[in-house]
Amino acid sequence: MPESVTAKSAPRASLLARALARPHWLAPPLGGLLALSFGREHAAGLAVVALAAFAALLWGTPLQQAGARARRGALLGLGFGLGWFATGIWWLYISMAVYGGMPALLAGAAVLLFSLYLALYPALACALAAALAPPAGRGAWPLARGLGAALALAGAWTLAEVLRGTVFTGFPWLALGYSQVGGPLAGVAPLLGGYGVGFLTVLVAALLALASQLSLRGTAVAVALLLAMALGAARVGQLRWTHADGAPLRVALLQGDVAQSEKFRPESLAPTLHLYGGWLERLRADLIVTPETALPVLPEDLPPHYLEQLQSTLRSAGTHALVGIPLTRGADAYTNSVIGLGGARPYRYDKAHLVPFGEFIPYGFHWFVRLMNMPLGDFARGTLDQPSFTVQGRRVAPTICYEDLFGEQLAQRFASPSQAPNVIANLTNLAWFGDTIALPQHLQIARMRSLEFQLPSIRATNTGVTAIIDAGGRVTGQLAPYTAGVLLGSVQPAAGVTPYAWLASRLGYAPVVLLGLLALALGAAAARALPTIRD
């Protein structure tokens, strides 16, 4: 080969060698791989593989100083988080650019900046976990030190996720536990909740990643622990804390498929009222559920006697209905609400957890909202312990769209076992996000709520996914997204309170925070007790 060709090849080889020696560039693609496990069936293992590869990357440094490892861990965590969130919540661009009228470049920048903010949480977790892990060296890590590093990563990750789900009212979308719905680890949800499932997911991934640092004997122990965890989760998943209560309820779930661009236009009001009013008058079921704001105007702006006519028709037919509609509280306070029709007494539920920028404008961000052509404003909040809607003697607990992401808040309704819900009903409108992965992601979240409380869930959505979910988190019926129709089926009410519901109703996030702190403390103790690496 001519020398000139060899000389030109050498720099390329050295560039590749340097890239492999400093593999920070791998973090964002691995984060993107993790994002692909959300909203997809049979993808629970993908999340574990992505996290295991990332943990091996996080631990694969010979840096001796804990501070240096922490800085490297923060950088890796930031890159991983950016890939994770930018890939997983890109659909926010649709709401801002397509339906909000924001310039495309500005909308894209907003999604990127928001993803960067969310990435700060895994960056914080990885900085702490990397500082507590030993440096990679020529010899294997001691088993106790390796297990301590795995616990530290799981604990720090879980605490960071709780922070992400609570700071500034929280954004727990893509919380790791949701990726495991349908997987073997989901069986522990009635005990530990979604955050607890996420803790075990990180721990499993970390134990897999330890194969890159432990001796053959240590790896065998880690594999044995993995098998024990899998068997334990399967066993726990067979436990039943709730039981069937009464006869199944016949339900009719409405999906109007009203385009978001048309939903609030005055000329669209009459067709929308005709669509939902016709269904409510004709259908016969124990419970009919409409989507969020199916009736998109205040009661005083409806045609005369519209609601009174529906109430009379439903009562005479022995049918109950949960109807999404905006209401007022006082002179100038608006609420995103649900009213119950067909019962002997009026029923009202006001959304308790509002969406930032959608239902309230954070302080200092009115300029941002003015860039969008959306009917936004500041809504009033409902309380977390509002009563359920009674249907055939069973209690149906409404939630409105985004607030079903907050299991610890929903758990407040289980503080009194005698008044605990028997069915969860979510009324949703995701038309803001188009025909995207946001729809199955939200369905996955609803399935986690059913797993945590071992209760059936029913979902009525504007564009999808309208579905019936049993107490084991399995979808037993659903409508195709972006079609107008009615999902008819039955749902078996359940009674009882899971350990997760009991603890969260009294202690909120404290149990999962204590779990994360305990794991972190054990990791720190292992780091202090065994500071050196065995050659």
Catalytic residue ranges: 292, 351, 401
**d(Cα 99, Cα 49) in Å, to the nearest integer?**
36
**Quick count: other Cβ atoms within 10 Å of Cβ 100?**
21
**d(Cα 315, Cα 323) in Å, to the nearest integer?**
15
DSSP 86-127: HHHSTTHHIIIIIIS---HHHHHHHHHHHHHHHHHHHHHHHH
Residue type, 315: R
Unique residue bearing structure tokens 């986690």: 448
Note the helical H segments in 165-265: 189-209, 216-237, 260-263
Burial letters 361-399, b for 16+ CB under 10 A, else e: beeeeeeeeeebebebeebbbbebebebbbbeebbbbbb
**d(Cα 76, Cα 27) in Å, to the nearest integer?**
6
DSSP 362-410: -TT-HHHHHTS------BPPPPTTPPPEEETTEEEEEEEGGGGG-HHHH
Residue type, 205: A
Unique residue bearing structure tokens 């925070």: 513
**Helix 189-209 / helix 143-164 crossing angle, nearest 10 deg:** 130
Binning the chain into helix, strand and coil, the percentages to the nearest 5 are 55, 15, 30
**d(Cα 458, Cα 465) in Å, to the nearest integer?**
10
Contacts of 256 (CB under 8 A, 6+ apart): 272, 275, 276, 290, 291, 294, 462, 484
Nearest to 159, CA basis, from 197, 199, 187: 199
**d(Cα 185, Cα 200) in Å, to the nearest integer?**
7
Distances (CA, A) of 141 to 210, 218, 240, 497: 9, 9, 40, 43
Note the helical H segments in 36-103: 44-59, 66-88, 92-93
Burial of residue 520 (number of CB atoms within 10 Å: 0-12, 13-18, 19+):
buried
Strand partners, 485: 255
**d(Cα 401, Cα 367) in Å, to the nearest integer?**
26
Report whether 463 contacts 255 (CB < 8 A). yes
Nearest to 55, CA basis, from 197, 196, 154: 154
Dihedrals φ, ψ of 292, to 5°? Answer: -60, 135
